[in-house]
Amino acid sequence: MVVPFRFCAAVLFLTCVCLISPPFCSGSRLFPTGEIDVGEGLLRFTEAPDYRNGDECAVSNNREKVSSCDASLVHIAMTLDSEYLRGSIAAAHSVLKHASCPENVFFHFIAAEFDPVSPRVLQKLVRSTFPSLSFKVYIFREDTVINLISSSIRQALENPLNYARNYLGDMLDPCVDRVIYLDSDVIVVDDIRKLWNITLTGSRVIGAPEYCHADFTKYFTEGFWSDPVLLRVFGSRKPCYFNTGVMVMDLSRWREGNYKKRIENWMEVQRKRRIYDLGSLPPFLLVFAGNVEAIDHRWNQHGLGGDNVRGSCRSLHPGPVSLLHWSGKGKPWVRLDAGTPCRIDILWKPYDLYKSTAKDQTLGLSSLSLSSFSSSSFSSLIGYSRILL
């Protein structure tokens, strides 16, 4: 199953899979469902195609009711909230679409207790969008972290749910000893099991792409860098930046080493004296930087949302791509709806399951006419597609 996928450009994926592997298409159901009235209006998602395992997939020993303890599963944790809902749904869709064994993927969705769309409604929505998906929705209690959060440079970074990744060891069943954490603004364009299969050498707890050429100093304040006691945190480690939006986490080592507490301790320090400006990322850097398993950069082509202030357009970094990440201020669904997409946003669109209303069309998407893309941008999109091969 893996080989045919590699011949498909992301934008042509569905067509490509249908041509090469009919079994994946015969089960597709594309009739519209997934309308949920949440009071303020309808949340409308189209039902995703029904992705099925190929013959080479490990058979679950508990087919009827998949329990999260089944050893053949790939576990993915992601947050689910009203603001990034469309992103989370598209991300999950992309994982399933490119997985060689989509039925062996188990999603752990973390919802906030006081989200305007309740966890129960979110759960119904996921069920109607992905009728045969194995997943569980967890309720994250904001008061777990609310007193530990200090203000950061972008308001969205203060959302308590951003800290949920620190509590996966507590929330997920103890039998789950590895999990892939994914941000809601990613699209996976490769078989997720390749990422799942990486080895965390020695006693490493986390795997993520590392960026040793990035300026690590900018993630912390001068107050931090001028305090010799605080600096001891790195010991003999050479800290490198990594992004916490894509992480492979060994949850047994995480629980054993009480890493949740280690991260909380740094949040306490931050509350007393400001040692960084971003939200949930710096405490992870303090605890893990210089000691993460370096994964191939193809698994986090980050920064596609532009910077944290302006959200300007960015293009892909050179090299192969397995995961696209719209980190930064600009989100593809917002830019697409506003009729001001960046070229890269076109790669997100095929995974979008949101059904826009006629009103949305008039306001935004209809202005996304061909004229907004010059022929040169079209050829560079083709370029993107090639990179994705």
Ligand X SMILES: *[C@@H]1O[C@H](CO)[C@@H](O)[C@H](O)[C@H]1NC(C)=O
Residues near ligand X, by CB under 6 A: 191, 193-194, 197
Residue nearest to ligand X (CB): 197
Smallest distance from the beta carbon of 163 to ligand X, in angstroms?
31
The C-alpha atoms of residue 345 and residue 335 are separated, in whole angstroms, by 8
Smallest distance from the beta carbon of 191 to ligand X, in angstroms?
5
Selection from 137, 136, 70 nearest residue 101 by Cα: 70
Task: Using the minimum distance from each CB to ligand X, give the nearer residue, 207 or 330.
Answer: 207
Smallest distance from the beta carbon of 302 to ligand X, in angstroms?
23
Selection from 182, 157, 186, 151 nearest residue 329 by Cα: 157
41 exposed, middle or buried (CB, 10 Å; 0-12, 13-18, 19+)?
A: exposed
Smallest distance from the beta carbon of 104 to ligand X, in angstroms?
11
The C-alpha atoms of residue 170 and residue 260 are separated, in whole angstroms, by 9
Task: Using the minimum distance from each CB to ligand X, give the nearer residue, 187 or 192.
Answer: 192
Task: Using the minimum distance from each CB to ligand X, give the nearer residue, 71 or 358.
Answer: 71
Smallest distance from the beta carbon of 3 to ligand X, in angstroms?
11
Smallest distance from the beta carbon of 197 to ligand X, in angstroms?
4
Smallest distance from the beta carbon of 71 to ligand X, in angstroms?
10
Task: Using the minimum distance from each CB to ligand X, give the nearer residue, 191 or 250.
Answer: 191
Task: Using the minimum distance from each CB to ligand X, give the nearer residue, 53 or 129.
Answer: 53
- Residue 83 identity (one-letter amino acid): E
Contacts of 323 (CB under 8 A, 6+ apart): 186, 187, 188, 189, 190, 195, 246, 298, 299, 300, 301
Task: Using the minimum distance from each CB to ligand X, give the nearer residue, 100 or 270.
Answer: 100
Task: Using the minimum distance from each CB to ligand X, give the nearer residue, 191 or 277.
Answer: 191
CA distances from 181 to 5, 91, 92, 163, 228 (A): 23, 12, 12, 12, 33
Task: Using the minimum distance from each CB to ligand X, give the nearer residue, 192 or 263.
Answer: 192
Smallest distance from the beta carbon of 136 to ligand X, in angstroms?
23
CA distances from 112 to 36, 58, 88, 123, 230 (A): 18, 34, 14, 12, 33
Contacts of 347 (CB under 8 A, 6+ apart): 10, 11, 187, 324, 381, 384, 388
Question: Across the strands, what pairs with 135?
Answer: 107
Task: Using the minimum distance from each CB to ligand X, give the nearer residue, 52 or 193.
Answer: 193
CA distances from 328 to 125, 223, 331 (A): 27, 25, 8
Q: What are phi and psi of 308, to 5 degrees?
A: -80, -10
- Residue 367 identity (one-letter amino acid): S
The C-alpha atoms of residue 145 and residue 149 are separated, in whole angstroms, by 6
Smallest distance from the beta carbon of 60 to ligand X, in angstroms?
15
